[in-house]
Amino acid sequence: MAEMRVNIAGVEWKNPVTTGSGTFGFGREYSDFFDLSELGAICLKALSVKPRQGNPSPRIAETPKGILNSVGLQNPGAEAFLSTELPWLRQFDTKLIANLAGSTIEDYVQVAEMLGDSVDMFELNISCPNVKEGGMAFGTDAKMIENVTSQVKQVSKVPLIVKLSPNVTDIAEMARAAEAGGADAVSLINTLFGMRIDVKTRRPVLRNNMGGLSGPAVKPVAVRMVYQVRQAVKIPIIGMGGITTGEDAVEFMLAGANAVAVGTAGIVDPYAWIRVRNGIEQYLNENNIADVNEIVGAVQMND
């Protein structure tokens, strides 16, 4: 059997598959379907200092090969997470990644301080397109990325992943800014900013008008960006965007991802994470590859 362990910024995952933040909640619903210890890591729904109600409904719309969401970072807040969700999650033998949300740099710093070393890694959410302050507003400006990363890094007791927005002209520049700010890893892509209009009412389908597109429709954009980021930075990459099968995950790893996140696929198939993990293993075994790390960045580009 092929070696499936990966090391992401000093944290060993038993396999390269994690969950896309926001698509898995805190795992309770999916634990009815499979043992969450099967995952390399669980990346949790965003956490802010105070609870957030999120945006008004409708906040999900179907699109061809994807979904558009404007959830707006709904979450119970860091305190409720620590008292209610974390003790439950600790029964599983997997790594936990807290996704940090905020409207200001001080918010991000405060939530990182509140969580301390209660989880294994942080993922800095500077790429949510669904909030007026924070989120993508930070993640589309290289100077802001470097600044917020370095300030959160100063107080982080666990490795810091920075989640990048695809809604930029030059993704490599954004990744370099995160690395310069002290990021231990980057994850990409968050959702592509989009819109749907109901032709009968002539109104946007989402109450918040616009939202973030995820699912198989975004995969080629995500693979291209992972490849470009791999050329630009040395730190590990967690690749995501439309992964549905083991082969999709292998594509991301060949492009340069050290690990992968599955998100939207789990909404139609609650076993998607297990299928993807098994699919990667099958690819390795069928191709006589001893270690999953061997395929990272192994794409051979045409001249």
| 128 is an active site residue | yes
Name residues contacting ligand SIN, limited to 202-241 (CB under 6 A): 212
Q: Cβ of residue 26: shortest distance to ligand SIN, in angstroms?
A: 14
* CA 202 to each of CA 57, 59, 217: distance values in angstroms, whole numbers, following the listed order: 17, 17, 24
Which helix (H) or strand (E) element contains residue 142? Answer: helix 142-155
Coil, helix or strand at residue 138 = helix
Residue number, 52 or 230, with CB nearest to ligand SIN = 52
**Least separation in angstroms between CB 70 and ligand SIN:** 6
DSSP, residue by residue, 222-254? HHHHHHHHHHH--S-EEEESS--SHHHHHHHHH
- Report the b/e string of 225-255 with b at 16+ CB within 10 A: bbbbbbebbebbbbbbbbbbbbebbbbbbbb
Q: Which of 39, 78, 128, 188 is catalytic?
A: 128
Mask 9-48, x = binds ligand SIN (CB under 6 A)? Answer: -------------x-----------------------x--
If one asks whether residue 72 binds ligand SIN (CB under 6 A), the answer comes out as: yes
Please give the C-alpha separations between residue 37 and each of 15, 46, 68, in angstroms, as whole numbers. Answer: 11, 21, 29
Ligand-binding site membership of 201 (annotated): no
Q: Find the binder of ligand SIN among 15, 103, 149, 191 (CB under 6 A).
A: 191
Active site residues: 128
Residues in binding site: 21, 45-46, 69-73, 99, 125, 163, 189-191, 215, 241-242, 263-264
Query: Which positions touch ligand SIN (CB under 6 A)?
Result: 22, 46, 69, 71-73, 125, 127-128, 130, 190-191, 212
